[in-house]
Chain A
Amino acid sequence: MNISVSGPKILFEWGSFHITETVVNGWIIMAVIVLLCIWLTHGLKLRNPSKKQIVAEKLVMMATNMVRDTMGEKYIGFAPYIGTLFAFSVLGSLSSLLGMRPMTGDLNTTLGWALVTFVLVQGNNIRINGLGGWLKSFVQPVAVMLPMNIIGEIANPISMAFRHFGNIASGIVISTLIYSALGALSSTILSFIPVEFINSIPILQVGLPAMLSIYFDLFTGFLQAYIFCMLTMSFVSGVE
């Protein structure tokens, strides 16, 4: 029996530039989101809206309300970014239901998003407090705290990235392990039948992994996307 848990496969290679499964899945998900947006916003009407228009309005309202409740009216311009991040993250994690490797199970993806958040937080801080105030905030209580403050600022994006990556990647590892274990178990159970063909049928692999997938793909995928957006919003709006 061999169980293989590996990182994303490299699909193309141009010199030292690798195009991995993650990147290709990311392109597919971007295309899906763009097509979905074009389809949902096609032919909007002011009177008796169609069903898909109601769905589109509901989605936009949800993103706007989430941003308004968490960040306040001042930051309402962040709603499109947060909505995009949420949709990209949810669809990226849910793509594992279709047998693709989830895009968010790769540290490069989540670290990229976390770095965007980091730049937003620092940029917002500079915009509000000015360059001098931003630099001064690092020596805030006393000057000795400088290294602590710098480490604290850098730790935020790293912990956000690792949190999202770790949850999805542990889902991949545990699903793979349990799937192989169920295969081995079913061949043990069926081993009393002497026919080679029948005892190679993995009966336990039918259905049971789907139950796990409800937790690891649906629940974790939505929860981590929500948490990532929530943390982004509270870090950006938490700048004093």
Chain B
Amino acid sequence: MERAIILAASAIGAGLAMIAGIGPGIGQGYAAGKGAEAVGRQPEAKGDIMSTMLLGCAVAESTGIYGLVVAMILLFANPLINLL
């Protein structure tokens, strides 16, 4: 019974952890929009803008990845189940 409660709570927790995906989604969309604007204003600097944008997107992604790691730990390597 306790095992079932822990498993269910872990699954819900993993789902809640993935709400962290909203932030990077907004951030990357904003970065991509600004990148498109910059290319529109200065098409000759497309290469530099592209690499800067990808780097910024990757850094903005960190928090989403943290959420993903927490969700994956809860689903596949659950540390709570051993506490019983």
Chain B 41-84 near chain A by CB (<8 Å), digits 1 or 0: 00000000001001100110110011011001000110000000
A23 at the interface (CB under 8 A from B): no
Chain A 1-40 near chain B by CB (<8 Å), digits 1 or 0: 0000111000000000000000000000000000000000
- Docked Cα-Cα span, A159 to B58, in Å, equals 11
- Cβ of B54 and Cβ of A166 under 8 Å apart? no
Contact flag A5-B65 (CB < 8 Å), given A223-B54, A227-B54, A230-B51 = no
Chain A residues with CB below 8 A from B61, complex form: 163, 167
- Cβ of B69 and Cβ of A162 under 8 Å apart? yes
- Docked Cα-Cα span, A169 to B59, in Å, equals 18
Chain B residues with CB below 8 A from A167, complex form: 61, 65
Chief secondary structure at chain A's binding surface = helix
A60 at the interface (CB under 8 A from B): no
A66 to chain B: closest residue by CB:
B51
Contact flag A5-B69 (CB < 8 Å), given A163-B62, A227-B55, A231-B55 = no
A230 to chain B: closest residue by CB:
B55
- Docked Cα-Cα span, A5 to B65, in Å, equals 18
A228 to chain B, nearest CB (A): 9
- Docked Cα-Cα span, A224 to B54, in Å, equals 10
- Docked Cα-Cα span, A149 to B40, in Å, equals 39
- Docked Cα-Cα span, A6 to B54, in Å, equals 30
- Cβ of B58 and Cβ of A223 under 8 Å apart? yes
A61 at the interface (CB under 8 A from B): no
A191 at the interface (CB under 8 A from B): no
A138 at the interface (CB under 8 A from B): no
- Cβ of B62 and Cβ of A162 under 8 Å apart? yes
- Docked Cα-Cα span, A5 to B55, in Å, equals 30
Interchain Cβ contacts under 8 Å between A and B, 10 examples: A163-B65, A169-B72, A170-B68, A170-B72, A223-B54, A223-B58, A227-B54, A230-B51, A231-B55, A231-B59
Q: A-side interface residues toward B, CB under 8 Å?
A: 5-7, 159, 162-163, 165-167, 169-170, 173, 223-224, 226-227, 230-231, 234
Question: Top 10 A-B pairs ranked by shortest CB distance?
Answer: A166-B65, A227-B58, A159-B62, A166-B68, A163-B65, A162-B65, A230-B55, A170-B68, A166-B69, A162-B69
